[in-house]
Structure 1
Amino acid sequence: MRPFLIFSLYVNFLHSSGAVTFTDVTSEIGLDFKHTDGRSGRFYFLEELGSGAAFFDYDNDNDLDIYFVNGSDLPGYNSAKKPINQLYQNDGRGKFTDVTLQAGVGDLGYGVGCCVGDYNNDDYLDLYVTNYGNNVLYKNRGDGTFVDVTDQANVGDSRWGSSCAFADYDNDGDLDLYVTNYVQFDFEKHKTCRFNDVETYCQPQDFQGQSDLLYQNNGNGTFTNVTREAGVYNSRGRGLGVVWGDYDNDRDPDLYIANDTNDNYLYQNNGHGKFTNVAFYAGVALGENGEMGSGMGTDFGDFNNDGFLDLIVTNFQDEVAILYKNEGNGFFSDITYISGIGEKTLSTLGWGTAFFDCDNDGDKDLFIANGHVCDNINQIYPEKTYPQTNQLFENLGNEVYREMTAFAGDSLRRKAPSRGAAFGDYDNDGDIDILVTNSNSKAQLLRNDGGNRKNWIKIQIVGETGDQSGIGTRVEVTCKSLVQIAEVKSGSSYLCQNDLTLHFGLDDHKVVDKVTATFLNGSVCETKPVPVNQTIRIYESGKYKSL
């Protein structure tokens, strides 16, 4: 087929379908963050994971600010400027300003991931950062600054932390904290490995895994490590991804862990402060053929609008991103290949991911951030590349996905060694934008252009008797026969934090018949019919208002 004909068909498709495109606006809006992994050619295993980022409104001015986690110098690498984590404040007019030093959140450790939640119930979002080394808890003072309270709070574990997520697992009105840990790595015991006679990084199996950590909030600004007591201790882990979600609809948060070269864990909450790993029983520990994967990122989301949370897990190259359909009876079905994402993700190495409605048509699409771990992989396998193309999958509404990457704009098709992906409407225009972190490279903010052609509603949840951020609240939005659910959650994806405001695409519906918010303590707020294309704030007491 001739090039001009291919181009014409491409343009006609975009015009006829109203396809969503994503535009890289990183530089023009003032984001200049560049990740540093400290690599010097010595192939320290630490260099592979990249780092995360957060979309969160730290100053309570109703727009999303951005926090980036950075690495640091490693032996053999000395940067001209010391790498630090960076916080960018959104001015509400499409520009960001670096306020790291003023805010006091420029951690100098070897940063990995982050998550947010209002752990002290003062109506300001606090920030937790995982490191190789001591993790950090920043308490938000409410005046634009943060203070490091790690030691006082007793959450400064010194292992190799990766992802994290807050949740009120014991339903006592304050947020607890789960932290995934990766492997035991020691510079003094460092070694490299060879594949096809090429020196490169060793594999995860060459390192002992580390147990994750569950911290119970004591309600007085301190936490207690209850990992063993709660039943979530497992030294084999190699945990990378974590997501909380009530998969069994019993009104308490369950927990899924994506592990690298190990079976994944699904911890069912028994409602009394204990968990049971039911991953094998539920069918989400391994792949379709019983193979052990390399779990990276993960998310819960109801992709088929049946009222049950489904599950996505990204994996290594030559594996696939696994889509598990929640059957509603405690079991999941692996529908990776019949859904259309199996073959498309076999040749990529996936990390950050999310169920999100990019085109506001009322169902959850999928995004996967891709990139290899070895910067010299093409010397080992010439057909493979270190930078890779991220992927966008459109939900066709019949439990089938179609890859739309080729039609989503040049910015999305650009190859990079991507890692984390965070999701939120940074410009408040009614569609979800994507923040991508790239290993040892500049981050990307991909603005959603065209997603707001269809209608939408955003829901902010405010707790009043406990957790102010509303984490764990389930929201149901009803527009005639279109009924959607989502839960407010901390963490998820890979090393990242999404906006806590819930976004629902409404297709062409002109009115939302009702919004029902069910809080963890059983409180329920149900709205009357409300107009579309606005943000509604719902309070635990039953009040609600338009913003």
Structure 2
Amino acid sequence: MKFRIILILSVFILLACNKESKEEVKTTISKANETSGSIKSAFLKRIPSSESNLIFSNDITDNVATKENLFDYDYFFNGSGVGVGDINNDGLKDIFFAGNQVPNKLFLNKGNLTFEDISESANINVKKHWSSGVSFVDINNDGWLDIYVSQGGPRSIEERKNILLINQKDNTFKEEASTYGLDDHGISTQSAFFDYDKDGDLDCIVMNENDYYGTDPSTFYSILKDEEKLMENCSHLYRNDNGKFINITKQAGLLKPTFGLGLCVSDINNDDWLDIYIANDYYVPDAKYINNKNGTFTDAIKENTNQVSFYGMGVDIEDLNNDALQDIFVLDMA
């Protein structure tokens, strides 16, 4: 703001002053630019891994035998996720890196932007396969953050099961996804925890990709007329019933095919109830699930938008222009 004021004043002075004054004004503007530049240059500073000890690389290697390659698995190069949360309640944010082929890693924040790799001792790679998205959530409401990891990739149904790491309050974790009913075996990319029914506990949406990538639209939709196959290839909504998560995808109105690559939960229509937006890849339209306030959702993407993204990849929702209305920003590769 100071720079803008200086610049505006300078314009008026330039119109009404002599040559010497003009030189003074130029000097003032130059100094303002220098100050502005120094602020910008100091805004972010790169901390090398040699100082932070944050050492992680999501290295991937083609493997024809396991179908871990771009020809057999379209999302081979999509990358993995990262989560940030305070796992030991010391007021410092810790970091979890998900790996596709490489092990997941957990770094404990030691302060001053230095971290300790506690991946092995924390027991975070039990049942780990092709990991992707990460969510920190206090799932059992004990005041300690747990970690939910989405899994998928070109793996078997058993190996695709998501993992839930329950915090043991001593910098270690115990895998208990099946106990909680969250061992979803879709090709999961991300999840979100939110209280969609306002009963005071956290429910869960698991966003999935699809087994039938590479098929033409006609064949794709023909295959998914089979409700059992459709249930295996859609995103899943889980209701929290006293600590046990129940798959209510069909009852809630979310039984639709997905190539889910972007997920946001937000009160899109300002009615004080949380809605769901899923950005879908390929020829499947994005889904804008409006909360009906009765345990169900209605996909209002066609009614609420003039045009949707083709090959939706990522999504974020925020009030960009401060008009108290939520705006939706979708990334697209087309």
TM-superposed deviation, 1:70: 0.3
TM-superposed deviation, 1:16: 2.6
Superposed, which structure 2 residues align to 1:47-446 within 5 Å?
A: 47-72=76-101, 83-107=102-126, 108-132=128-152, 133-184=160-211, 210-219=233-242, 221-235=243-257, 237-261=258-282, 262-283=284-305, 286-287=308-309, 293-316=310-333, 319=334
Q: Report the AA paired with residue 320 of structure 2.
A: F
Mean alpha-carbon deviation: is it higher for 20-29 or for 277-286?
Answer: 20-29
- Structure 2 distance, partners of 1:284, 1:130, is 32
Superposed, which structure 2 residues align to 1:461-480 within 5 Å?
A: none
Partner secondary structure for residue 312 of structure 2:
coil
Calculate the TM-score normalised by the size of structure 1: 0.47
CA 294–24 in structure 1, closer or farther in 2 if over 3 Å, else same: farther
Partner secondary structure for residue 54 of structure 1:
strand
TM-superposed deviation, 1:130: 0.8
- Structure 2 distance, partners of 1:11, 1:260, is 49
Match in the other structure for 2:16 = none
Partner secondary structure for residue 314 of structure 1:
strand
- Structure 1 distance, partners of 2:91, 2:306, is 37
Contact 1:54 1:68 in 2 (8 A): yes
Q: Report the AA paired with residue 315 of structure 1.
A: D
CA 203–99 in structure 1, closer or farther in 2 if over 3 Å, else same: farther
TM-superposed deviation, 1:40: 4.2
Structure 2 segments unaligned to the other structure (5+ residues): 1-29, 153-159, 225-232
TM-superposed deviation, 1:22: 3.5
- CA deviations on 1:330-363 (whole Å, 9 max, x unpaired) are xxxxxxxxxxxxxxxxxxxxxxxxxxxxxxxxxx
Q: Report the AA paired with residue 165 of structure 1.
A: A
CA 238–277 in structure 1, closer or farther in 2 if over 3 Å, else same: same
Contact 1:266 1:285 in 2 (8 A): no
Give the aligned CA root-mean-square deviation in angstroms. 2.7
CA 207–178 in structure 1, closer or farther in 2 if over 3 Å, else same: farther
CA 206–56 in structure 1, closer or farther in 2 if over 3 Å, else same: farther
Partner secondary structure for residue 96 of structure 2:
strand
Contact 1:267 1:277 in 2 (8 A): yes
Partner secondary structure for residue 264 of structure 2:
strand
Q: Report the AA paired with residue 90 of structure 1.
A: N
TM-superposed deviation, 1:310: 1.4
CA 130–22 in structure 1, closer or farther in 2 if over 3 Å, else same: same
- Structure 2 distance, partners of 1:162, 1:175, is 19
Partner secondary structure for residue 59 of structure 1:
coil
Q: Percent identity?
A: 31
TM-superposed deviation, 1:205: 6.7
Match in the other structure for 1:33 = 56
The higher radius of gyration belongs to 2
Contact 2:84 2:136 in 1 (8 A): no
TM-superposed deviation, 1:204: 9.3
Question: How many residues matched?
Answer: 277
Contact 2:162 2:182 in 1 (8 A): yes
Contact 1:175 1:217 in 2 (8 A): yes
- Structure 2 distance, partners of 1:26, 1:234, is 45
Partner secondary structure for residue 296 of structure 1:
strand
TM-superposed deviation, 1:211: 0.4
Q: Report the AA paired with residue 182 of structure 1.
A: E
TM-superposed deviation, 1:48: 2.4
Structure 1 segments unaligned to the other structure (5+ residues): 1-9, 73-82, 187-201, 288-292, 320-547
- Structure 2 distance, partners of 1:48, 1:244, is 26
- Considering fraction of residues, name the structure with more strand: 1
- Considering fraction of residues, name the structure with more helix: 2
